[in-house]
């Protein structure tokens, strides 16, 4: 479906300021929404909100449907009487400009355990009723997720394939016994998801009431070590005995990598998934639509064809393309859920089949301005080659910041950009690129907050292929100045993207 002409900011909540070492759903999140409203923005784009696993990547979560406990705001728990002021006092040692996950995770987890214990003891009847209703409403994924996390902790964090055989194979008697033995731990994870849901729902409502829509992110693949794969292994390409991935996801060798990218996620057993009416996917979409207003489909091309790499390979070189039932999938989704607000991440190796699938269902694609100034006038990322049904970005979470990109760009790219823009000050290259995005005919323009602030490579969110140092960047409260807000507002209004300019 096409969207109206609007603009917004890309910022993951972990990057918000605050005193607990990581951005959360507290006061700073509401102030960021206020900034969006004041600067006439309509979109707040996020990365996936799931509970992060390996490397703290939002794209490798323990669940495709649960929320990240680290985003829960502790001050709200104190306000509910579940924590004391003394519990929140030991925060001065946390880094301000980046998330130190090794320090933040145990600190927040200990306080969430304390809050869960207090909740069990002192929660008001109305709140207890809401909790019980939450358990009923979200039982389709909550029961498996809470049991999975409790078992993972009981097994000292080991992947589920290394647990006791009866639990790996989900023997009903073994699962029932685990539910008895781990009842307290299961309750903790249910409570944490309830609290995340309450806080996120309140923030989303605050944003929606101010004309701000939430753009969520849906990784096409899920982590092998996740509740999703453990609970429904038949949906994935797994070895029948070891239950390790038999086919792994990735992308083939290209200009950027001679060996391709091997992600390690299991690919889907599309034959089984389709035979079951895509039921797991429908469940996943319903859960995500409870959190967001629009859904960016990461690696959309895999709905047309996906790169499958056999188990045992150390690179993605020896994979093969396999067809996926994208047409049947999106037809089923429209029949069951109606026409959904999808955005297709169609970057990388795109062929006619991918474009046909995207265009058949009228899904907006993506364009990245940092890719626009290599090549010639036929470069598909140049603004005059972009049509209206796209989201145009200066860069995404996987790119360097615009300032960082410019400093490392080739002389050819710098000269092309200067010729394209005309009057050009390299010191404000980020505003030149923002102006190009805003002024394009693309229906939606989204700017990473780092680019709005004119930050360099030190503020990069993720470097693909690099295992450490990612997902940590944070901004400080003083960076979002009235001057930046006013300059963004003026450009938004100039190019017809302001909320009060949107045709209803």
Q: Which residues are catalytic?
A: 298, 345, 398
- Distance of alpha carbon 87 from alpha carbon 79, whole angstroms: 12
Surface-to-core class of residue 120, CB atoms within 10 Å of its CB (0-12 exposed, 13-18 middle, 19+ buried) = middle
Q: What are the CA-CA distances from residue 250 to residues 299, 307, 318, 344, 489 (Å)? A: 10, 6, 11, 18, 40
* Exposed/middle/buried for residue 278 (C-beta within 10 Å: 0-12, 13-18, 19+): buried
Integer Cα distance of 336 and 330 in angstroms: 10
State the Cα–Cα distance between residues 41 and 38, nearest whole angstrom.
8
- 3-class SS of residue 238: strand
State how far the Cα of 336 lies from the Cα of 339, in Å rounded to an integer. 9
C-alpha angle 119/22/15, rounded to 5°?
A: 130
Closest by CA position to 143, among listed 113, 115, 175: 175
Eight-state DSSP code of residue 283? H
Pick from 488, 464, 471: nearest CA to 12? 471
Beta strand 294-298 pairing with 365-368: unpaired
Read off the DSSP letter of residue 366: E
Query: Rounded to 5 degrees, what angle do the CA atoms 285, 287, 288 make?
Result: 65
In a 3-state reduction of DSSP, which class is residue 310? Answer: strand
DSSP 290: T
Q: Kind of pairing, strands 444-448 and 390-393? A: parallel
Alpha carbon distance 382, 377 (integer Å): 8
């Amino acid at each position: 479906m096409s969207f109206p002409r609007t603009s917004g900011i890309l910022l993951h909540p972990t990057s918000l300021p605050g005193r607990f070492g990581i951005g959360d759903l507290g006061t700073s999140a509401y102030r960021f929404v206020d900034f969006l409203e004041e600067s006439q923005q309509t979109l707040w784009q996020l990365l996936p909100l799931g509970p992060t696993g390996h490397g703290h990547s939002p794209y490798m979560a323990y669940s495709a449907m649960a929320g990240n406990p680290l985003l829960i705001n502790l001050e709200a728990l104190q306000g509910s009487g579940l924590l004391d002021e003394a519990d929140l006092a030991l925060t001065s040692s946390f880094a301000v400009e980046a998330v130190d996950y090794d320090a933040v995770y145990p600190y927040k987890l200990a306080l969430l355990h304390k809050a869960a214990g207090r909740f069990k003891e002192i929660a008001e009847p109305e709140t207890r009723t809401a909790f019980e209703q939450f358990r009923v409403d979200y039982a389709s994924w909550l029961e498996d997720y809470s049991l999975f996390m409790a078992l993972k902790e009981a097994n000292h964090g080991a992947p589920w394939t290394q647990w006791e055989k009866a639990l790996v194979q989900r023997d009903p008697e073994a699962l029932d016994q685990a539910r008895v033995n781990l009842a307290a731990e299961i309750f903790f994870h249910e409570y944490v998801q309830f609290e995340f849901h309450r806080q996120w729902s309140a923030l989303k409502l605050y944003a929606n009431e101010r004309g701000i829509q939430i753009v969520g992110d849906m990784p096409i693949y899920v982590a092998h070590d996740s509740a999703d794969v453990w609970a429904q292994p038949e949906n994935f390409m797994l070895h029948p005995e070891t239950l390790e991935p038999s086919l792994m996801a990735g992308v083939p060798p290209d200009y950027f990598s001679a060996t391709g990218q091997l992600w390690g996620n299991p690919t889907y057993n599309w034959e089984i998934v389709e035979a079951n009416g895509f039921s797991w996917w429908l469940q996943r979409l319903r859960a995500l639509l409870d959190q967001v207003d629009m859904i960016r489909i990461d690696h959309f091309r895999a709905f047309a064809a996906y790169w499958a790499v056999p188990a045992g390979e150390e690179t993605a070189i020896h994979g093969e393309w396999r067809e996926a039932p994208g047409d049947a999938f999106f037809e089923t989704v429209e029949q069951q859920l109606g026409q959904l607000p999808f955005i297709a991440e169609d970057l990388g190796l795109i062929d006619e089949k991918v474009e046909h699938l995207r265009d058949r269902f009228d899904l907006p694609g993506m364009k990245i301005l940092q890719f626009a100034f290599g090549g010639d006038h036929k470069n598909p990322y140049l603004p005059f080659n972009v049509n209206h049904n796209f989201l145009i970005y200066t860069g995404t979470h996987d790119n360097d910041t615009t300032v960082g990109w410019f400093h490392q760009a080739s002389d050819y790219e710098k000269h092309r950009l200067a010729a394209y823009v005309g009057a050009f000050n390299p010191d404000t290259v980020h505003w030149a690129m923002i102006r190009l995005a805003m002024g394009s005919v693309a229906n939606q323009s989204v700017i990473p907050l780092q680019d709005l602030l004119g930050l360099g490579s030190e503020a990069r969110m993720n470097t693909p292929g690099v295992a450490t140092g990612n997902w940590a960047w944070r901004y400080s409260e003083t960076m979002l100045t009235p001057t930046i807000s006013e300059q963004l507002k003026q450009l938004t209004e100039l190019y017809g993207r302001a909320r009060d300019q949107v045709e209803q």
